[in-house]
Every structure is written in structure tokens, then in C-alpha cells.
Structure 1
Amino acid sequence: MATNVPETMQGQFLEAFKKPYTLRSVPIPQPSTPHDLLIKVDAASYCHTDFVLAEGQMPGFPHAFPHISCHEFAGTIISHFSAPSSQASAFTVGDKVGVPGRAFHACETCFECQGSKDPVSQDDKGYSVYCAHAENNGISRDGGFAEYAVVDARQLAPIPSSMTAVETAPLMCAGITIYAALKRCQLHPGDRVAIMGAGGGLGHLGLQYAVKMGLRVLGVDAADEPLKLAASLNTGARIVDARSEKPTDIVQQLGAEDGKKDIGEKGVDAVIVLPESQAAFDYSMKLLKTHGRCVVVSFPEKGFHISAHDVVFRDISILGSLVGSNRMLREMLNFSAEHNVRAVSKSFPLSKLNDLVEDYHKGGGGKLVVDMSLQK
């Protein structure tokens, strides 16, 4: 172990479903394979998936209690395995890194690891974020709601010098997820995209990314606080209250603005669906032009009802999007630094994680982050 590192750490543990987290001391984990690095966690962001996991709505996860959640965090490298891999050796003690949840200990040999043809998820041969045999920080194994964590060097993204750990942590899931969804829309500057759930953790980042990509953007939400948050960003996107504005009226307005007469060419080129409600999905489909793309990020327990008429007669493409590759993760971080894309966030000390969760249920939008530098 590196010098000046204590033998134990504080961690917030999930010990049963539907129960508060418990703060207690445990031994600090140790690197056990050549790809492993020990990091001091500097910031850890709360995701909707953390809530889903804690409620017992992810079958089979966690594998056992007690469990440390959080799959989007950032930290400082403390030590390597005794014989590090070339990927791990590329990082030095003291480096600041962002840590996504997926593909801890990817198998290197499966179909995905040997070379996915999907440009959004494709990484160098021997590693894939879609490896079915890998573990996931904060889901199938311990994550970032602790003072220290062991991570896989192949997961990591160096933090740009202009960004802090608190700014980086929300981008390790929310940021890469919405960035990858925008890439899957296959749009060009000047095209239109609608983001459903625009005031949420992913949505408000998506507004910023989309505008900086040169797209014309509609941000749609249906709750007061998220709508206020989306409007406060001043991105230039049109913010739509789905409770009072009908999608058919919006389509007509966009058609008039674009000088389009045929109904099939009015509307947006792509929509990204972030909420889990059928109403949000239906609303988004009505915004689309013929031949448009619907990119689904949410995964409600009962799924979505899809209109065969939209798929067949309007040639609407519906596809899912999870995360992006490590290559895209680094691209997203550099894009965020260059264009000043940041999450609107509220910070809590590690000891107040249960207060953070209580705040999450108020539905104020943005991101909630554990900042390890805050006093207990």
C-alpha cells in the first residue's frame, strides 16, 4: 500500500433493500490484478440507478449485503498493483481520474471485447464497456460511496485541469449516457432534437451538449422545478412545459418556422426519452418528423407501448442507448471542459448520504454529489 494511507476507511453501506445507508469503518480494499488501481475518492454522484438498486428493483443486484453503491465518481490515484499492466502504468500516483461504473475487469475475450462494430461503444480490442462478464462498480461490486475504491485502469478518464472532482463525478454516468444518446441520434448541426426530461440529471446536461454541438434544441419537462432549472441554464434551447403545450401544436409551429408544408417534414429529427412514463414516450413520438429517430435511455419496469403505425408508416427508428466507450468518455470530458458544460449540483458530506437521498426524492432536478472534502 502507498505510504500515509490508513488501514481503514469510512463507507456508506446498503445493508438491506428499502433501508437507509449505514456509515461504518472497514479495511481499505487492495489492488489484486495488474489492471487494478487504488484511488482516494474525492467525489461521488448519486444516480437514479442507485435508487433502483436500493429499492430491490434490479434483479440479482447487489449480489450480497453489505454493499457500497455509486457508479459515477472521481478520485486521486494512490497506488498500483505490484506488477501493473501497461494500461495501469499509464497512470501515476497523484493523477486525478473520473471513474464510470461499467466494465470493471472486462474478460478481454468475448464478442464485445474482441471488437464491437458499434462506433458509440467501440474501444480498443481486448476491452468493452458492454462486456457481459465484467463487474460494475456500485452495482455488482462496491462503488464510490466510500473514502477509497479499487478501480480498473481501463475504465478511467483523466480529469481535465480546468475541472474539479465534484464537476467530473456526475459526468461519469449522467454525462456519458446523454452524450452517447446524442451521438446515436446521428444528427448534423442545424438539425432539431427534443430532450424529454430536460430538467433532470441527464436532461440538463443534454441541453448543454446539444446546443454546443450546433443543434436546435427543445427541452421538454412536466414539473415546476426541473423546468425552472432547464430555463435557468440560458442555453438558447426552447423549454417546453408538456402539461400546457400540445406536441401537435409544437410540430405546427416548427413547421411554420422552417417553412415546411407537408406534415411528415414538420417536427424534430430526433428525440431522446429520459423519463420512465408512457405519457413522455407518446409525447416524444408525436414530435418526430417522418423518418425520425427515437433514442430510449430509460427502462421502466413494465416497458413502453410502441405504436406499430409509427414504426411502419412513418418509418420511425427506435433504438436504445446505455453508455459510451472509454474513448467516448474521454471525448465527452474534453468536450465538457472546452465548452464549459457542467452539471447543476448540490453537495453533501459522506456522512449525510441519507440526507442526499431525501433531497433526491424532492425532484428538484440537477445532480446530487457527495463531496469528500466537506466536513462530517
Structure 2
Amino acid sequence: MSIPKVQTAAIVPELGGDLTIKTDHPVPTIDSLQPGECLVKISHTGVCHTDLHAKMGDWPVKPMVPLIGGHEGVGEIVGIAPGTANSPVKVGDRVGIKWMADSCLDCEFCRKGLEMTCPKVKYSGYTVDGTFSQYVVSFVHHVTPIPEGIDSAEAASLLCAGVTVYKALKQSNTIVGNYVAIPGAGGGLGHLAVQYAVAMGLRVIAIDTGKDKKDLSLSLGAETFIDFKEEKDIVGAIKSSSEGLGPHAAIVASASAGAYKQAIDYLRPGGTLVCVGMPDADIGINAFWCVFKAIRVQGSYVGNRQDAVEALEMGAAGKVKVHYQLRELEDLKQTYEDLEAGKIAGRIVLKVS
């Protein structure tokens, strides 16, 4: 395959700065790659709220700048660095690039399947350039093979939103037939959480607002939808929908501090609160009720390499479908504006090349 010398890329020049679309950004040469690296030609990439945070630089851990964001990329490997030994992938493979770009694989955290907390971890579109470009450098031991049976546009969102909620459900301490509440059920993460939960045999209580999100949540298998703007007693309604005791778990996909505080009130004794959404505020969890109700609070930070494989396999099997709008890379600025305004239901996927 002929690799051009320049490419189109969406670049954030400084934290909080305006996004710039460049058509003459250099493409790394194969000879410039370090052992273990590969060059991937991106066909599609999802857009995540994390990308917006990276652009604004409003998280405690700051991204590098200038920055090419994006961490939900699907494309084809077009080159592997000279000197790379025992590569599990080859040129021509269709692979996915996730938030976790690389880790050492040898430390205690990597050995325990917590690669995302490795002291040497690299993050796509945050500490290394990401997928808002036609070509990106990634790492052979961390790219995820995309299975047959799922198209690239749909697979893109499963690489972050999908694996994130799938991992959260795996950590929810639930079994088949249990109730799970999902605040933010109609959003990009939430609508996937509903489907993964249903596929895992859980009974879903969807929490969000608006007719479109209600219709979407119920069509995806939620048993109950509670509109937090219309329901006066949200805690009571959630408990009534789960045998009067409350759900066994809550997967808080919403970036709302109030959603966390509320979950402690409606979870049944022994329930699990799984933290996924990240509001930039204290979440106000009451220690007394956590102890008194024996509530488990579990942070869930994306997923590891195996979680990604499993999440994609469920998508390829037709258990999970991503509801997305397809746009062009040049539409990224407008997409950021729509995300800030809360106008997007489901996910946005960009066609790159």
C-alpha cells in the first residue's frame, strides 16, 4: 500500500484553543516507528465526551498539546516497525485503537488486568496522538482485532463507550435476573449499557429525560423508563420498579453528581454503585447510608484488552447495536458544539478516509 507523506488531521493547538483541520500534517514513515509500534490507516473514529475534555484541558490530569484527539478508531494496519518481535497482528489486519494506547504489560497492575492504571500507560488522543487523523501510530500488543460481522463505523463506538459500560456491568456484582438502574440510559454510553445489561440477563431500569430517549431505552430492552424531569419521587419510582427494594446495582453513566447521591438512596441493601460518569465535583455520597445499607462503591475505568475483545464479540454477535450519526472529520468542531449543548442522542462517528 502506498503511504502518502501528508494527511488530514484535526489538531488542538493549545488547551481550550480552537480546533484546526490541517490537510498537510506529516504522516510518520515506517522506518521512524519504534519496535512494537504500528501505523494504522483510520477509516472511522467515534467521538467521546473525553475528547471534549481533552480539547478544553479541564481535567486534573492535563493532555499534551498540540494534540490530535480521538480514541475510538478503526482502521487497517499499513506498517509495523522494523525489529518488532512476536507481533500478534500483521499488515492488512483491521484493528481498533482504544483510550488505553499502550502499557508495559509487566507491572503488578498490568498482570492483574488493570493495564489502564499502569505507571507507564499511554492514552490515545491525550498523552499520544489519537484517531482524529487519517494515519496514527499505535502499538501491536494493544490494538484490538475487529471481528467479522460488525462494520467499522459501529465497531468504533464499542472500543470506548461499549467496553466502558460492559466492564462496569462486569463489576456490578449482579447475576441473571437482578435489577440494574442506568442513569443516562438514552445517551452514548447509556444506550449501550442497556443492551449489554439485557444481553447479560439483567432487568433494566432506564433513567433519563425526553420522549426520544424513553422510546430508545424501551426499544432496546429496558423494562422501565423513569423521566427525571417529570417524576416527582424518583427514588420511590425506582424502588417501585424493583420489587419495592431497589435495584441490585446502579451503573451511573451520567456525569451528574446528583445521580450518584440519589443512587445511594434507591439501591437495595447490599447493592453496588458503579461509578462511570465523571462530574468535576464531589459526588456527595453519604458514608452513613453506605455502611448502614452495606453498599459497595466501585469505580470502573474503561476496560482491559480482554474486556475489549469480549465487548466487540457481543457486538459482532448482534447482541448490541450502536445508534450513531455518521459525519465527516471536518464536522468535528460542530460535533463538539453539539456535545456541549447536549443535542446528541446515541453516538457520533466520523468517516475519516
In the superposition, the TM-score normalised over structure 2's length comes to 0.93
Q: Which amino acid aligns with 1:112?
A: F
Which residue of 2 is the match for residue 263 of structure 1? none
Partner of 1:28: 27
Structure 1 moving runs of 4+ over 3 Å = 222-229
For residue 228 of structure 1, report the CA deviation from its aligned partner.
Answer: 4.3
5+ residue gaps, structure 2, are none
Cα 1:229–1:16 shift into 2, 3 Å:
farther
In structure 2, what is the equivalent of residue 41 of structure 1? 42
Equivalent residue runs for 1:182-221 within 5 Å? 182-221=169-208
> By how many angstroms is 1:172 displaced?
1.0
Query: What is the aligned partner in structure 2 of residue 151 from structure 1?
Result: 138
In structure 2, the CA distance between the partners of 1:173 and 1:251, relative to structure 1 (3 Å rule), is closer
Query: Mean Cα displacement is larger for which, 218-227 or 41-50?
Result: 218-227
**Distance in 2 between residues matched to 1:267 and 1:362, nearest whole Å:** 32
Is 1:4 the counterpart of 2:5? The answer is no
Give the match for residue 104 of structure 2: 107
* Equivalence for 2:350: 370
Change (3 A) 1:36 1:247: same
1:326-349 alpha-carbon deviations (Å, 9 max, x no partner):
011101110121134121111111
Matched, 1:52 2:32: no
TM-score, normalization: structure 1? 0.87
Residue identity opposite 1:183 in structure 2: K
Amino acid at match of 2:271: G
- Identical counterparts, % of pairs: 31
State the secondary structure of the residue aligned to 1:78: strand
Q: Give the paired residue count.
A: 348
Deviation at 1:227, TM superposition (A): 3.5
Cα distance change on mapping 1:248 and 1:96 into 2, 3 Å: same
> Residues 176 and 332 of structure 1 are in contact (CA less than 8 Å); yes or no, is this contact kept in structure 2?
yes
Deviations 1:129-170 (A, max 9, x none): 321212111001100000000111121221121111110111
Partner residue, 2:223: 237
1:212–1:60 Cα change, 3 Å? closer
* Structure-2 separation of matches of 1:59 and 1:253: 39
Q: Deviations over 1:74-125 (max 9, x none)?
A: 1111111112221x2x222221111112142x23443213x22xxxx35xxx
Q: Do the aligned residues in 1 keep the contact of 2:274 with 2:300 (CA within 8 Å)?
A: yes
Equivalent runs, 1:119-198 vs 2, <5 Å? 121=113, 128-198=115-185
For the Cα contact (< 8 Å) 2:172–2:249, is it kept in 1?
Answer: yes
Map of 1:93 onto structure 2: 91
Separation of aligned partners in 1, 2:61 and 2:248: 38
In 2, Cα distance between equivalents of 1:354 and 1:251? 38
Secondary structure of the residue aligned to 1:139 is: coil
**Contact kept? 2:132, 2:352, Cα under 8 Å:** no
State the alpha-carbon separation in 1 of the partners of residues 105 and 235 from structure 2. 48
The 2-side partners of 1:30 and 1:338 are apart by 37
Q: CA deviation at 1:371?
A: 1.0
Verify the 8 A CA contact 1:360 1:368 in the aligned structure 2.
no
